[in-house]
Chains A and B, each alone.
Chain A
Amino acid sequence: MNDPKPGFIGKSVERREDYRFLTGNGQYTDDITLPGQTFAAFLRSPHAHARIRAIDTAAAQAAPGVLAVFTGKDVSGVNGLPCGWLINSIDGTPMKEPKHPIIAEHKVLHVGDQVALVVAETLAQAKAALNLIDVDYDVLPAVADTATAAGNATAVHDIAPDNVCYTWALGDKAGVDAAFAKAAHVTRLEFVNNRLVPNAMEPRAANAVYSRADDSYTLYVASQNPHVERLLMTAFVLGLPEHKVRVIAPDVGGGFGSKIYLYAEETALVWAARKVGRPIKWTAERSESFITDAHGRDHVTVAELAMDGNGKFLALREHTTANLGAYLSTFSSCIPTILHSTLLAGQYTTPVIYSEIKAVFTNTVPVDAYRGAGRPEATYLLERLVDTAARELKLDPAELRRRNFIRSFPYQTPVALMYDTGDYDATLDRALELADVAGFAARRAESERKGLRRGLGYAAYIEACGIAPSNIAGALGARAGLFEAGEVRVHPTGKVTVFTGSHSHGQGHETTFAQVVADKLGIDIEDVDIQHGDTGKTLFGMGTYGSRSLSVGGTAIVKALDKVVAKGKKIAAHLLEAADADIEFANGEFRVAGTDRKKSFAEVALTAYVPHNFPLDKLEPGLNENAFYDPTNFTFPAGTYVCEVEVDPATGAVRIDRFSACDDFGNVVNPMIVEGQVHGGLAQGIGQALTEGCVYNEDGQLVTGTYMDYAMPRADDLPHFVVETAKGTPCTHNPLGVKGCGEAGAIGSTPAVINAIVDALAPLGVRDIPMPATPYSVWKAIQAAQQH
């Protein structure tokens, strides 16, 4: 399988999921209405921090159409939502884990925290009833600012009086301090990695039904990982029998991390479904998404890079305060730590690194993984330091990187990860060509003639994805395994259904996985069907995030396919009266080596199910195999992005003139889909750099609560991207040789953009620009620099 015959793999096959999406036949959770459907609405706190003195639901319960009103008191016996990763502080104490109730009972801890659930015959009646609930709040001061949360007079949780969840560190502090003491040059930056709202276009939704007939539950939910939802909800929160709960994630309109987590809404709906006795549907309104979906990023960082006189990196250290929000979301604890600090070597041979992370609670929405999850923050930190260092040392930024590239693999970084393979020179060199860096000087002169500033910014990113080896993850605090599962069901007619634990919410797995299966079995892609998203059909799955689907989910399928082929060979050997060892399988045929005696895949399949001429004494009938694959390492996509901007110093307006990307994703199954993933990631990373910013005021009020104030990038905010996937260095430890591509765009683009703007404005004295670099923000930075 390391060198598959190029049938479907490597081809830009058009997606089979497109037909239903293009014709309005997608089945997203809100599209599904069940017989006897009722509708839910949640009453949410308008305060960032308050005690609930009393809550009176009598009028709401009596309102037209209302079937039930539940408050925190009703669910006080229910466990809180769990966090799936234990992080220990430097002193060995475990992180603080306050209860995360599914409906707040005593206190509300962020604007949007739910205090009641109304179930009614119609949505309009449910919403109308919300207005009839009387909550007596004792409003408390709020702590909303990340930088000043630790040690703040206001504590979000009693168990963390200083608002610190943990203080964690990775690396060799003494070695780093020693290296800094001897350094010829130190570059230092202080910045904020701005808070973002993932804003998948489909708002979160859930529809829960309890069946008295067989004492079972069915939950439709917009999730990236239905089995994980089911396990967490049944075993850790509601105490329900896992095998009697079916979770279905139908078509899901984007996730980007925000639909990984077990949320209060679907959990409360499942709990309530039994009480109400009818299906209950909830769909977030967009402004409700803003105050309930987990947010991303929100780091305050001080970072320093120590170098010798030739720009060789000697050491890196950083201190980050990471905002976790009001409660621990499912993976929140590992994002600023395990998924962040371990990327601080980047593409470079920096020998010692130290990273200290202080995670704080604030009266804001919980923060968790959002496309890139910890790696964009690490890459931003590192690549801003590198371009800044280049300017300070008066070195070309590409040259400074070349002086520090890792060139020998496998490479053990000083921050736990071991890179399997890579070629950073290749992607850097090609990115420079794609970006026509050679022509930049002339373009800059032309811009200046028009009174504009032009700048070039680089980012050489690497990321760790294909998560993750379970034993390593477990040793680092993960409370779950991170393997993946796949089942290959060959039907008597030789058609194949594959059940995967991966979930597709835009990634096109129904197409790409079918390409892999069709190639391996030598059958037509039309004869392969991929099923995902339903715990009632699919054996198990950890789900889709962390750019893991092809490398982990795809490998699980490959291993199941290997078992199918192995069994097929035995069947063919019997049919062909040959020894098992003499049977070869290629191009869909089982052949006796060195002869033209063969049986097709379809013939073998039929024989398996009509086992008349069959070694029943040695082999079971049927042809259905599954595999669980636990990866032996992360995978390490890497590349270089080059951004060129033109800035109008009079208005601060930034225009990206060109954006070039060269990525090494190892082997690629569908080039068109891979490019699409990069485009989407670039758009999000550029959005972070230029337009998006989730803002809370000092009272914990979300100021950017709708699309009116939160600037999502539109088509005319973004340039045409020049994207090239390198031939690449195939991953050494999975049979497909794939590295994953879903998050790279969001990881590498943000620093490239800011580096470009700073490069454009450096002659005016600007050294740094806060994100988002809106015209006002850029203009202010210019004014401030001019005043010095």
Chain B
Amino acid sequence: MTTEEAYSAYLAAVVSGSRREAFGVVDRALAEGTELRALYLEVFQPALREVGRLWQENRITVAEEHLATAITQAAMARLYDRLFAAPAGHGRLLLAACADVERHEVGLRMICDILEMEGWDTVFLGAGVPVEALVEMVRERRPDVVALSASIGPHLPRLREAVRAVRAAVPEGGPLIAVGGRPFMDDPELAEQVGADLTATDAAEAAARLREHFER
């Protein structure tokens, strides 16, 4: 099974809402030697993108989209034992959160997992993290990177607030702040406008840009 075949089979499974079929595809791909990183970047990520596109085409409803996302989250969760079994890497810490009102978390989770594969220590706080809780966590853990995401434009003001609060919490030598999500894919310049240091259009690019930043 090539990764393309795995992608097609997986997409069909999640669009039809078949959790069992989706897990079966993942298990077969793994059994045939597909690597975790390839599963993430060549199966999960494009499948979810395609689901979004199908919604945009009005070919599926948001309920189906959410089901596909939930199945993918579960499929990823099944891989965590394997993912974290790798020996600890350089141990740089990334703190990730979907700021405040944001509910779309799977993209950010994917970035965290990819970074984890590259030796990062990532703490994923999930969706709907209140700004105060995020700031508290930043003060406590002193991460190298804080990654925040927003899925729609209306959430950008809250994201900007979160960025400001993190900067204020650690005025000197504070973390690098990365942002991502649909609005930044459409207009990368928004990242600067909300006060972030960098953005990326997908998990692979995010990992590459962070690697570049810290190896410089």
Task: Note whether A and B form a binding pair.
Answer: no
What is B's interface to A at a CB cutoff of 8 Å?
none
Q: Which residues of A approach B to under 8 Å, CB–CB?
A: none
